[in-house]
Amino acid sequence: MQYQISGTVMQTVAIDLAPGETVYSQTNTMAWMNDQVRMDTHTGGGFFAGLKRSFGGGSFFITDFTASGAGHVAFAPRFPGTIVPALLQPGQSLICRKETFLVAQKSVTLELAWQKRLGAGFFGGDGFILQKVTGPGLVWLDLSGELVERDLAPGEKLLVHAGHVGVFEPSVGFDIQIVQGFKNVLFGGEGLFLATLTGPGHIWLQSMPILNLAEEIGRYLPRQGGDTGSGSAAGGLAAGAALGAAGGLLGSLLGGDS
């Protein structure tokens, strides 16, 4: 299996498959493929497996891409970012935020990663439900914006805006810490809590939380009844954005993701 990552801001990963090789992705990420690749969409282990994946922020269905000959298939993320390849050894895992999984070899497992500390879940915004990928095999993860990697020494702590947490090794502790100072909470715009990452272990941070991007785009969407409206399509888009924002309001406030 060979692959090539192309692009800068909107990257794609193109994978060449030998006959019989399979990769899988969550729905709506395949960009193109040749006629030697067969698609098979399923729940990935039954109804409850799909339900758990949906609860974790993924898609209910997953799609296998299997080569019958010399296969070629490409995948593209749904937002600007950086594709990170990781070759996992047997039993080796990575913890990633729910939207980072792009595609993986069939031998890689994808499952929920529940946090041991409930506080990290209830007050960490997106931190409560993370995903875990476990080898052996190749996995491609997608982080929004640019990528920053750091190695944390044992006991070293890094306070991170929750939206910038991308991927970390299981040896890294994940928790939340309340922002100190009334003015910081009220006027700082960082939310009530910050994520705390504690070493040892490797971490991957992302420079542009997708909710921040969505919020900035929302500022330029036409408002119904305003003088910048561009028809019913724009109004529907604005309404959809408003519904999505309302759905994530609580988690964004607590986790400081928007």
Question: Can you give the CATH number for the domain in which 68 is found?
Answer: 3.60.160.10
Is the separation of the CB atoms in 141 and 100 below 8 Å?
yes
233 falls within a domain: no
**Residue 113 lies inside a defined structural domain of this protein:** no
Contact 70, 51 (CB under 8 A): no
In one-letter notation, the amino acid at residue 48 is F
Q: How far apart are CA 79 and CA 99, in angstroms?
A: 10
| 62-87 pLDDT per residue, tens | 999 999 999 999 999 988 999 999 99
Confidence of residue 36 (pLDDT cuts 50, 70, 90): very high
How high is the pLDDT of residue 90? 98
Structure tokens at 221: 């969407």
94: closest CA among 45, 149, 166, 191? 166
Residue 37 placed within a domain: yes
In a domain, 67, yes or no: yes
Average pLDDT over residues 44-57: 62
Q: CB under 8 Å to 68, separation ≥6 — which residues?
A: 19, 36, 37, 38
DSSP E strands: which ranges in the chain? 2-6, 12-17, 22-26, 30-33, 37-42, 62-67, 71-75, 81-88, 93-96, 101-105, 109-114, 129-134, 137-144, 147-152, 157-160, 165-168, 173-178, 193-198, 201-206
Number of domains in the chain: 1
**Would 5 be classed as within a structural domain?**
yes
Q: Angle at Cα 238 formed by Cα 233 and Cα 240, nearest 5°?
A: 95
Could you tell me if residue 70 is inside a domain? yes
Contact 229, 196 (CB under 8 A): no
d(CA 59, CA 7): 25
Whether 21 contacts 73, CB under 8 Å:
no
Provide the pLDDT for residue 56: 58
| Residue 132: inside a domain | no
For 202-240, write each residue's pLDDT tens digit.
999 999 887 777 888 888 888 776 554 444 444 444 444
> Tokens 């931190």 map to which residue?
127
Judge if pTM exceeds 0.75. Answer: yes
Read off the pLDDT band of 128 (50, 70, 90).
low
Residue 169 lies in a domain: no
CB burial of residue 236 (10 Å; 0-12, 13-18, 19+): exposed
Domain span at residue 36 reads 1-76
